[in-house]
């Protein structure tokens, strides 16, 4: 559904969704102190920060789901270019992942393959390590020389892990996982995942869990060589670009007391677009630059605020210990820093 309304939209908070996963944990302390089941109930594996069902907390759109916001206010949220690209849908799904056990070995399709099977888009993603224990690791890709026939054989005999490219995880580092990459997340880290707004997963191997596998589709989606792996940060003086690829850009922003939104705009952006501000640590307050355009919006630790393309001019103030992550959708590879 295309945008049916256009106008100025102030920044707004989103209520996270706590998603149960078989490999998760019933206790999210200290990350989300108010969500703990003290060992009771289903384990939580993912906190969806921008899920389609996430609800707006403040302002005139309070109570609306994010899907409704994009359906009815696409141009106001994304800007003209983004609205045309997304046709009333949200471009990014942001999550915090808490793995207590190994996730399945899996692969995500690219846009072409997803559309072949009737889905709107594929799934390219990245993982920023918010925390990592010594020895934490993930798998991102296949070792050189591994063939699809070998993958299929190792799926059958339970030895697929031996063909995975293991990547150590260190807090503050970024791992890129483009569509078509065979990958796995293992325990020992807390990851901020930025991805295309898709939950398409083809499982190759699931450690004996009673969940369906999708081996044929996974093999069809698999690319033997991908761009997956650690992405070195790019320091730009006033910010650090953690990753800049097609679909998304993730930056760590130095606020240093307070900072205007206009000073965060990328120099190569033709027009202002949607930005998400995530407090990886500490807290902040977002206010109108003129002090009157909209009420202050508080950004709590591990919370997220959406800054629409049409937002009045704004500024962010560090309320203590702020580590601010800015996440923006990207529409063209030509605009990215160090794209591969």
Residue given tokens 């993982």 in the structure block:
127
In whole angstroms, give the CA distance from residue 52 to residue 219.
29
Domain ranges of the chain: 17-53+91-231, 234-334
Residue 213 CB-density burial (10 A; 0-12 exposed, 13-18 middle, 19+ buried)? middle
Per-residue pLDDT of the chain (340 residues; tens, 9 = 90+): 333 344 689 999 999 999 999 999 988 999 997 665 544 568 999 999 999 999 999 999 999 999 999 999 999 999 999 999 999 999 999 999 999 999 999 999 999 999 999 999 999 999 999 999 999 999 999 999 999 999 999 999 999 999 999 999 999 999 999 999 999 999 999 999 999 999 899 999 999 999 999 999 999 999 999 999 999 999 998 899 999 999 999 999 999 899 999 888 765 555 569 999 999 999 999 999 999 999 999 999 999 999 999 999 999 999 999 999 999 999 754 344 443 3
Q: Which residue has the tokens 């072409």?
A: 112
Dihedral angle sign, alpha carbons of residues 191, 195, 200, 201: negative
Residue 122 burial class via C-beta count within 10 angstroms: exposed 0-12, middle 13-18, buried 19 and up:
buried
Q: Which residue has the tokens 């820093």?
A: 337
Domain 234-334 -> CATH class: mainly beta
* Cα(116)–Cα(119) distance, integer angstroms: 7
pLDDT at site 336: 44
pLDDT at 5: 43
Superfamily of domain 17-53+91-231: Jelly Rolls (2.60.120.10)
Residue 1 pLDDT: 32
Q: How many helices and strands in the chain, by DSSP H and E?
A: 4, 21
User: What's the Cα-to-Cα distance from 249 to each of 11, 160, 173, 240, rounded to whole Å?
Assistant: 19, 32, 14, 11
Residues with Cβ within 8 Å of 212's Cβ and at least 6 positions away in sequence, in order, are: 203
pTM score:
0.93
Q: Check residue 333 and give its pLDDT.
A: 44
């Amino acid at each position: 559904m295309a945008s049916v309304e256009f106008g100025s939209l102030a920044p707004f908070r989103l209520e996270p969704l706590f998603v149960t996963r078989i490999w998760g944990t019933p206790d999210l302390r200290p990350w989300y102190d108010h969500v703990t089941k003290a060992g009771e109930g289903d384990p939580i594996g993912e906190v969806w920060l921008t899920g389609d069902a996430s609800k707006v907390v403040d302002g005139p759109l309070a109570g609306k789901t994010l899907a409704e916001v994009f359906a009815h206010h696409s141009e106001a949220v994304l800007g003209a270019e983004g609205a045309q690209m997304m046709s009333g849908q949200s471009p990014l799904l942001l999550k915090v992942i808490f793995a207590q056990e190994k996730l399945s070995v899996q692969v995500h399709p690219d846009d072409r393959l997803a559309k072949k099977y009737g889905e709107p888009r594929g799934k390219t993603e990245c993982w920023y390590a918010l925390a990592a224990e010594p020895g934490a690791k993930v798998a991102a890709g296949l070792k050189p020389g591994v063939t699809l026939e070998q993958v299929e054989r190792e799926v059958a005999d339970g030895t697929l892990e031996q063909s995975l490219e293991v990547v150590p995880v260190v807090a503050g580092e970024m791992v890129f996982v483009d569509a078509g990459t065979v990958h796995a997340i293992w325990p020992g880290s807390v990851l901020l995942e930025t991805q295309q707004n898709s939950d398409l997963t083809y499982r190759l191997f699931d450690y004996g869990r009673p969940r369906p596998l999708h081996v044929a589709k996974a093999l069809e989606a698999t690319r033997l060589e991908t761009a997956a792996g650690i992405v070195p940060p790019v320091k730009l003086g006033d910010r650090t670009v953690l990753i800049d690829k097609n679909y998304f850009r993730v930056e760590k922003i130095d606020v240093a007391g307070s900072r205007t939104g206009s000073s965060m705009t990328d120099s190569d952006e033709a027009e202002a677009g949607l930005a998400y501000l995530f407090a990886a640590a500490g807290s902040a307050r977002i206010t109108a630059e003129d002090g009157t355009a909209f009420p202050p919006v508080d950004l709590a630790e591990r919370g997220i605020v959406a800054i629409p393309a049409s937002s009045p001019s704004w500024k962010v103030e560090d309320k203590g210990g702020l580590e601010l992550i800015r996440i923006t959708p990207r529409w063209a590879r030509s605009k990215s820093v160090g794209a591969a």
